[in-house]
Amino acid sequence: MEYIKKNDWDELQNSLSQKGYALMENVLTPNACETLIKDFGVDQLYRKTVEMERYRFGLGTYRYYTYPLPDVIAAIREQVYPRLVPIANQWMQQLKMGVSYPEQLIKLKQLCEEKGQNLATPLILNYGKGGHNTLHQDLYGEVYFPMQAVLFLNDHSKDYQGGEFVLTQQVPRAQSKPIVLQPKQGSMLVFPTNYRPILGKKGHYRATMRHGVSEVHSGERFTLGIIFHDAAQ
């Protein structure tokens, strides 16, 4: 994480304000990615494992980390969160939500605890051939932070084909716009968890956002999901 330059945060914030999502490359080294993938099999790191097909969430397996989080994940969460807070608060103001988020992640954690949300939400996801993730939103209780991140742990050019990240944006009285991204290994994508403001003729209006993953045609795809709020269950 020390290789994220200051400029890149400005770029990230501008991109979030303008497009609703932002991509930052080289956040994780290939080594860090490989270690996270290798540890997919280390049971004591996780609190829960979900076979996605069973719940009709798609096809693949994901595992929620348990607290204390591995250092690299805790570091990403703590370093990225304060950079997103100004944008999150701007969004809430533009949408007249009457909500504002605290500057420190530990304070968000306290707000979650007050609502009975105290389980870790970062997760690692694994998809093989045919694997996919149906369009969804990651809300785990009353308290939620409006942005989350996904880090790409391997690469579509050598490890898998297909498996694009899909973001849909739905505005009132219109059909959904798809945004399809295929980031490189080590990249971090930040995107809205449930909605974002878009400036229209009469001020800002709300666009509902969902995300998912298109079918993996071959190989194996791994991602790390970083959600900032804790879960009730």
Ligand X SMILES: O=C(O)CCC(=O)C(=O)O
Q: Does 194 bind Fe ion (CB under 5 A)?
A: no
Tell which positions 12-71 bind ligand X, by CB under 6 A. none
Q: Does 169 bind ligand X (CB under 6 A)?
A: no
Q: Name the segment binding Fe ion (CB under 5 A); options: 40-48, 61-69, 89-97, 133-141.
A: 133-141
Choose which of 213, 219, 228, 230 interacts with ligand X (CB under 6 A).
213
**Residue 56 or 158 with smaller CB distance to Fe ion:** 56
Choose which of 8, 39, 78, 138 interacts with Fe ion (CB under 5 A).
138
Site pattern 112..141 for ligand X (x: CB under 6 A) = -------------x-------x----x---
The amino acid occupying position 114 is E
H-helix or E-strand containing 52?
none
Q: List the beta bridge partners of residue 213.
A: 133, 165
Residues within the interface to Fe ion (CB under 5 A): 138
